[in-house]
Amino acid sequence: MPKPETKIIPNPAVEKRDRHVFSTEYRLSIIQQADACKHGELGVLLRREKLYSNQLAQWRREFAEYGVAGLSKSQSGPKSSHTTDQKRIEQLEKENLRLRKQLEVKESCISLQKKLWL
């Protein structure tokens, strides 16, 4: 009886997640809706909009400190010091090193086999 196929194929749509960019109008709308929420309704709003409470808290801080202009700024992570070409070069160098090591192991196996046959 053959074994069933157990190979797992990852779904690329699930594997790669993009950062969601929220518009200023959307952020302001969510802050207003959150302020209008009664006790226990805030969690429902956050789940419906697929937001985290820390996002709402950050937007409220930005709005309180800078007004509507504070909501329009986006604080992303640090910029990468490598260009896409440099990243690709590093990736290829790593692959090259891996393949060289693999070749070295295979060549040593072949030389051992030759010694055994002599």
The answer to the question of residue 13 being in a domain is no
pLDDT for res 13: 63
Per-residue pLDDT of the chain (118 residues; tens, 9 = 90+): 566 667 777 776 666 666 778 889 999 999 999 999 998 899 999 999 999 999 999 999 999 988 888 888 665 667 777 788 898 999 999 999 999 999 999 999 999 888 887 7
Pair 69, 28 in one domain: yes
The answer to the question of residue 8 being in a domain is no
Task: Kindly report the number of other CB atoms within 10 A of residue 10's CB atom.
Answer: 8
Pair 26, 59 in one domain: yes
For the stretch 48-84, what's the b/e string if a residue is b when 16 or more beta carbons lie within 10 angstroms of its beta carbon?
A: eeebeeebbeebbebbeeeeeeebeeeeeeeeeeeee
Q: How many domains does the chain have?
A: 2
Pair 88, 59 in one domain: no
Own/partner contacts of 63-67, CB < 8 Å, gap of 24 or more, are 63/27, 63/28, 63/31
pLDDT for res 4: 66
pTM of this prediction?
0.49
Pair 101, 70 in one domain: no
pLDDT for res 101: 96
pLDDT for res 58: 92
The parent domain of residue 31 ranges over 19-74
Pair 27, 61 in one domain: yes
Pair 65, 32 in one domain: yes
